[in-house]
């Protein structure tokens, strides 16, 4: 799995405040002291009237003793000194030190006006499956993913409708794993989010949009036999000012979709305004193969140069955000919330036709199908793989993966997308064919361009990174198993056989090998400590949580052959959850 793309939507904002617990105590001491002085004053006054007072006074002076703290040096491993506090026989270390030393996390929080300190051993989150895993349903917990807003997504290509990654190559490239995650997240959101709300902006059959047409332009609503409906046809002069405009004041939904065909040098421009700062932005969809470029507040997305009808589905806020971060690298400055934006104008320039111009709150299923189409179109029909066009260096000791390598995780994720598309489309055979073809690299050894490695020449393993020597990355392997499971469950019986064999073989390996990843207080990401004899590559907490989430999910797939493994996976996952809460394996 790559560094950013596959982790659950955790926030790392638990960056612990660097402060001393003792400071809080100091404040308390001061307050208590003042309080005690107050009590004492009252008591002194009372002492003129009674004798019980003496006893109270004693109690209070006693607590004063207990709360005295003093500074003390603390020597760490005979190596260096830090400042600590001593109170009675106890010594207090600053949390900023504990955080660094033990990699634990903490923050101050206030509940009902009472402040407290919250300590946590890990920063990550476990998603317990709510029910048995359903290959036709939500993919893991991907409804929480928001792939397109990640920093390592350059933009969503308006040519293909899928994200462009900058993960290992800043120019950008299509990374099948990331694309599949985009598709799976939209498929999952379709099942979990509220129904989309839509507003039809222009539909020629109903003559909806009141366009402003300059005298130099041509504008007609013509009947098209292919669509058996009317479409809007336009031609404007070359001058930028002379576009056909539709003025609006729209503030609700920012996912635009339309059917369009444009000839060269034509464009559709959306004007957006920030309601607070009044700043205006122009989103231009142009006939070009450029993914994204921008100049000042003009942002350009190419929609390709083919003169054929296409359905364009764009999240305008994502496009705006990507455009701004494209020219303004200081991303922290960019705060664009949907609720602050207003759509003020749609402009058509050049010549072309449009239809079904709509604004919606979401178009998840359309974005999912854009993804499925991408996988159908970009599969190598010989090998069945979706090539990754950039070089990948996993670590010293492994040979580099040369551009064009395949990943079991990409293959598995793609198969998960295509299986769902096959099911959801009511059996569109193109999706099934591509998914079945996608099994091919699982049968080809990783030294021959496939993804199959073997542990001790015995246990097959589908490699996320098919390195020499093998790396045995755990999470990518399990994701690939999910893809195989999806296909064997959704494909018609005979078609699903091959996926089933690959899945069962993989599960045998996983059952046998899962304990090799258990490091007693954390897990390891891969088995490089075995294959290249280095220190183990310990999984940071979000990957560790991914391991746990995956095992919990596998443990819900009970069946005849795997009921024993479902309990193995459950027990292992629970032990690994313990690690996230500071538990460790016993020592001798």
Ligand X SMILES: *[C@@H]1O[C@H](CO)[C@@H](O)[C@H](O)[C@H]1NC(C)=O
Q: Residue 150, Cα to own-chain centre: how many angstroms?
A: 7
Question: Quick one: which segment of 122-130, 134-142, 337-345, 361-369 binds ligand X (CB under 6 A)?
Answer: 361-369
With respect to ligand X, which residue has the nearer C-beta, 312 or 514? 312
Distance linking the first and last C-alpha atoms of the chain: 34
SS3 151: coil
Closest CA to 392 of 470, 475, 465: 465
- Are 464 and 405 within 8 A, CB to CB? no
Tokens of 356: 């079904």
Binder of ligand X out of 56, 117, 127, 227 (CB under 6 A): 227
Touching ligand X, residues 499-528 (CB under 6 A): none
| Site membership for ligand X, residue 364 (CB under 6 A) | yes
204 touching ligand X, by CB under 6 A: no
- Copy the structure tokens of residue 568: 């193995």
Contact status: 290 vs ligand X (CB under 6 A): no
Whichever of 69 and 269 has its CB closer to ligand X, that residue is: 269
Among 8, 129, 196, 404, binds ligand X (CB under 6 A): 196
* Residue 575 to residue 274: CA distance in whole angstroms: 50
Closest residue by Cα to residue 532 from 455, 469, 459: 469
- Smallest distance, Å, CB 293 to ligand X? 16
Among 229, 399, 402, 563, binds ligand X (CB under 6 A): 229
Rounded to the nearest angstrom, the gap between the alpha carbon of residue 177 and the centroid of all alpha carbons in its chain is 12
Question: Rule CB under 6 A: is residue 365 a binding residue for ligand X?
Answer: yes
Q: How far is the CB of 251 from ligand X (least distance, A)?
A: 21
364: three-class secondary structure by DSSP: helix
Instruction: Please state the three-class secondary structure of 88-120 as a single string.
Output: CCEEECCHHHHHHHHCCEEEEEEECCEEEEEEE
Does the footprint of ligand X cover residue 264 (CB under 6 A)?
A: yes
**Rounded-to-integer distance, Cα 486 and Cα 135, Å:** 5
Instruction: Looking at residues 164 to 193 of the shown chain, list those that interact with ligand X (rule: CB under 6 A).
Output: 190, 193
Asked if residue 362 binds ligand X (CB under 6 A), the reply is yes
According to the binding rule CB under 6 A, does residue 313 interact with ligand X?
Answer: no
| Chain residue at closest Cβ approach to ligand X | 264
Asked if 195 is part of the footprint of ligand X (rule: CB under 6 A), the reply reads: yes
Q: What share of the chain is helix, strand, coil (3-state, %, to 5)?
A: 35, 25, 40
Give yes or no for residue 231 binding ligand X (CB under 6 A): yes
Q: What is the smallest separation between the CB atom of 311 and ligand X, expressed in angstroms? A: 7
- The answer to whether 538 and 519 are in contact (CB under 8 A) is yes
Is 428 an interacting residue with respect to ligand X (CB under 6 A)?
no
In whole angstroms, how close is the CB of 349 to ligand X at the nearest point?
Answer: 12
Q: Which residues contact 77 (CB under 8 A, 6 or more apart)?
A: none
**What part of residues 27-56 is at the interface with ligand X (CB under 6 A)?**
none
Question: Of residues 68, 265, 295, 564, which one binds ligand X by CB under 6 A?
Answer: 265
**Maximum CA pair distance of the chain?**
106
Q: Does 356 bind ligand X (CB under 6 A)?
A: yes
Positions touching ligand X (CB under 6 A) are 190, 193, 195-196, 227, 229, 231, 259, 264-265, 309, 355-356, 362, 364-365
């Amino acid at each position: 799995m790559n560094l950013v793309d596959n982790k659950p939507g955790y926030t790392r904002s638990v960056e612990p405040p660097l402060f001393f617990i003792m400071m809080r105590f100091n404040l308390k001491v001061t307050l208590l002291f003042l309080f005690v002085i107050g009590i004492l004053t009252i008591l002194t006054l009372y002492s003129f009237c009674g004798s019980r007072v003496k006893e109270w006074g004693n109690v209070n002076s006693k607590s004063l003793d207990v709360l005295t703290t003093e500074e003390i040096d603390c020597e760490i491993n005979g190596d260096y000194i830090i400042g600590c506090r001593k109170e009675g026989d106890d010594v207090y270390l600053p949390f900023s030190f504990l955080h660094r030393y033990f990699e634990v996390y903490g923050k101050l929080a206030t509940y009902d006006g009472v402040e407290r300190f919250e300590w946590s051993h890990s920063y990550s989150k476990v998603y317990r499956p709510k029910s048995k895993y359903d290959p036709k349903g939500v993919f893991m917990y991907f409804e929480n993913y928001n792939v397109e807003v990640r920093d390592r997504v350059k933009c969503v290509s308006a040519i293909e409708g899928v994200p462009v990654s900058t993960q290992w190559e800043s120019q950008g490239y299509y990374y099948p794993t990331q694309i599949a995650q985009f598709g799976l997240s939209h498929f999952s959101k379709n099942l979990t989010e509220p129904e989309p709300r839509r507003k039809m902006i222009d539909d020629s059959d109903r003559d909806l949009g009141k366009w402003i047409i300059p005298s130099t332009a041509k504008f007609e609503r013509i009947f098209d036999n292919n669509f058996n409906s009317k479409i809007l046809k336009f031609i404007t002069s070359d001058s930028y000012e002379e576009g056909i405009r539709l003025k609006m004041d729209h503030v609700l939904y920012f996912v635009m979709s339309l059917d369009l065909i444009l000839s060269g040098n034509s464009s559709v421009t959306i004007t957006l305004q920030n309601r607070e700062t009044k700043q205006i932005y122009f989103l231009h969809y142009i006939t070009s193969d450029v993914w994204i470029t921008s100049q000042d507040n003009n942002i350009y997305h190419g929609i390709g140069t083919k003169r054929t009808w296409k359905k364009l589905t764009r999240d305008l806020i994502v496009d705006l955000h990507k455009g701004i971060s494209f020219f303004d690298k200081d991303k922290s400055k960019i705060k664009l919330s949907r609720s602050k934006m207003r759509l003020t104008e749609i402009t058509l320039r050049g010549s072309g036709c449009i239809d079904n111009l709509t604004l919606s709150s979401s178009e998840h299923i359309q974005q999912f199908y854009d993804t499925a189409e991408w996988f159908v179109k970009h599969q190598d029909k010989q090998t069945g793989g979706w090539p990754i066009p950039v070089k990948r260096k996993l670590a010293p000791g492994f040979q580099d993966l040369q551009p064009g390598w395949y990943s079991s995780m990409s293959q598995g994720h793609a198969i998960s997308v295509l299986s769902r598309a096959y099911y959801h489309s009511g059996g569109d055979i193109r999706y099934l064919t591509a998914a079945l073809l996608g099994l091919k690299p699982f049968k080809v050894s990783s030294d021959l361009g496939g993804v199959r490695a073997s542990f001790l020449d015995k246990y097959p393993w589908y490699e996320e990174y098919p390195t020499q020597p093998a790396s045995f990355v755990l999470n990518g392997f399990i994701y690939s198993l999910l893809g195989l499971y999806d296909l064997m469950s959704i494909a018609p019986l005979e078609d699903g056989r091959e996926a089933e064999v690959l899945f069962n073989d993989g599960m045998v390996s996983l059952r046998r090998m899962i304990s090799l990843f258990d490091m007693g207080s954390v897990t390891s990401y891969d088995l490089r400590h075995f294959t290249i004899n280095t220190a183990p590559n310990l999984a940071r907490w979000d990957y560790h949580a991914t391991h746990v989430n995956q095992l919990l999910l596998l443990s819900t797939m009970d069946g005849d052959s795997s009921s024993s493994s479902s309990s193995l996976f459950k027990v292992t996952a629970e032990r690994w959850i313990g690690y996230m809460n500071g538990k460790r394996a016993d020592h001798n």
